[in-house]
Structure 1
Amino acid sequence: MTPEELLTTTRAVRKRLDLTREVPLELVKRALTIGLQAPSGSNRQQWQWLVVTDAEQRAALSEVYRRGWREYLELQPGQRADDSATYQRIRSSSEYLAEHMQDVPVLLVPCLDTGSAELPAGNQAGLWASLLPAVWNYMLAARNLGLGTVWTTLHLRHEKEAAEVLGLPDTVHQGALVPTAYYTGTGFKPAERKPVDDVLHFDRW
């Protein structure tokens, strides 16, 4: 793929994750090695990465995720009434992922080790900017290697329980949950987005 094709066709893959095919850990490590080329504030590289493949661990973490998913739905009464094709497609694929999360062969949990049980006050954008670009780099690299991914965070509604499942120290804070698997089918294409001129400002709002 050209760089432009990679950047415009790396989509959230849910229903097209291949739940029957094992993913070699070396492939995950290769994608993650590429991901770690992302920038890190002051080059601190406080990131830590959990690759969850054990069936019992996946099941336990998936149950935490499903609880967050159900609570999210309860808080979106307006969206539940949205009958647009786009929303219904997203809702259907998200529900499928919640039901099958434990069957995804690899669950990647990117984290920051801040050295403190409490997140520092103030510049949260700067803090998470030292992790999240590496997560996206990983997802791009995975796509280039034939793997599908999707960025999820609903398990963080119960972050402490997820931390207990994963055995995380108090100083380690989760940033996402990235299901990873080979994908089925083809046809990935750019998503519909607002025209750039509708969201672009020069000099002042």
Structure 2
Amino acid sequence: MTISADELLTTTRSVRKRLDLTRRVPLDLVRECLDIALQAPTGSNAQGWHWVVVTDEDKRKAIGDYYGRSWRRYYESKASPERLYENDPARVATQQRVSASAAYLAEHMGEVPVLVLGCLTVPALPQGNQAGLWGSLLPAAWSYMLAARARGLGTAWTSLHLAYEAEIAELLGIPDDVRQGVLIPTAYYTGETFGRAKRQPLDEVLHIDQW
């Protein structure tokens, strides 16, 4: 697949309903994407990240069950996608589609061929704003998702599994000083490709020199 940098950055979508749950993803392809991810910047060049790639069917199902439980609680809350902009007629239809696709992924998470957990070695989580900490993981995780897109794979950034972080850590043997930051379902996607998403105009969110 040949794709320009601009197209890659503007068409890498959260793929949920279009993940191919029946097609095996070669581990070597996942390794390629992670090798690229390791080139991302990280605070103080600490490189404290770890990547847990889950292909075992039983373990994927167990993680999917935890994720589904967390989704159901989230869906019933005021923060769910369907309720987020319920008073904005211009965004209701879009949010309903997002909610439906998120529900589909929650139902099928355990069937996705590869689950990638991005983690950081953290002896203790700091109090207050943790942006500096997780800023050492997020660029690498996004690089992984971009590399996957360039290779015909779909991904989605998810974090609802963190409600069961301890249980998943025990399932996978993750040490106590390693914290999970993201769960990235990975599969070939169905259909041809993806387009740009509708976003608010830049000038609505841009502030120069002051708010």
Smaller-chain TM-score bracket: over 0.9
CA distance in 2, matches of 1:101, 1:169: 24
The letter of the residue matching 1:102 is: G
Q: How much does 1:76 deviate?
A: 2.3
Q: What are the superposed Cα offsets for residues 127-159 of structure 1, whole Å, 9 maximum, x if unpaired? A: 100001000000000000110000000011221
CA distance in 2, matches of 1:171, 1:79: 32
2:102 alignment partner, one of 74, 94, 106: 94
Q: What are the superposed Cα offsets for residues 154-179 of structure 1, whole Å, 9 maximum, x if unpaired? A: 01122111212221111000001000
User: Quick check: 1:2 aligned with 2:8?
Assistant: no
The letter of the residue matching 1:166 is: L
Q: What corresponds to 2:186 in structure 1? A: 180
* 1:75-154 aligned within 5 A: 75-76=77-78, 80=82, 82=86, 84-114=92-122, 116=123, 118-154=124-160
Following TM superposition, the consecutive aligned residue runs of length 4 or more in structure 1 with deviations greater than 3 angstroms are 77-83
* 2:116 partner SS: strand
Q: What corresponds to 1:197 in structure 2? A: 203
Q: TM-score, normalised by structure 1?
A: 0.94
* 1:177 partner SS: strand
The 3 A distance-change label for structure 1 pair 119 and 79 is: closer
CA distance in 2, matches of 1:173, 1:68: 18
Q: What corresponds to 1:68 in structure 2? A: 70
Q: How much does 1:121 deviate?
A: 3.3
Q: What corresponds to 1:46 in structure 2? A: 48
| Identical residues among aligned pairs (%) | 60
- Bigger drift between 65-74 and 20-29 goes to 65-74
Q: Is the 8 A contact 2:81 2:99 kept in 1?
A: no
The letter of the residue matching 2:121 is: D
CA RMSD of aligned residues (A): 1.5
The letter of the residue matching 1:98 is: A
Q: TM-score, normalised by structure 2?
A: 0.92
Q: What corresponds to 2:173 in structure 1? A: 167
CA distance in 2, matches of 1:13, 1:167: 28
> Which ranges in structure 1 are unaligned for 5 or more consecutive residues?
none
CA distance in 1, matches of 2:81, 2:206: 27
The letter of the residue matching 1:149 is: T
CA distance in 1, matches of 2:160, 2:142: 17
* 1:108 partner SS: strand
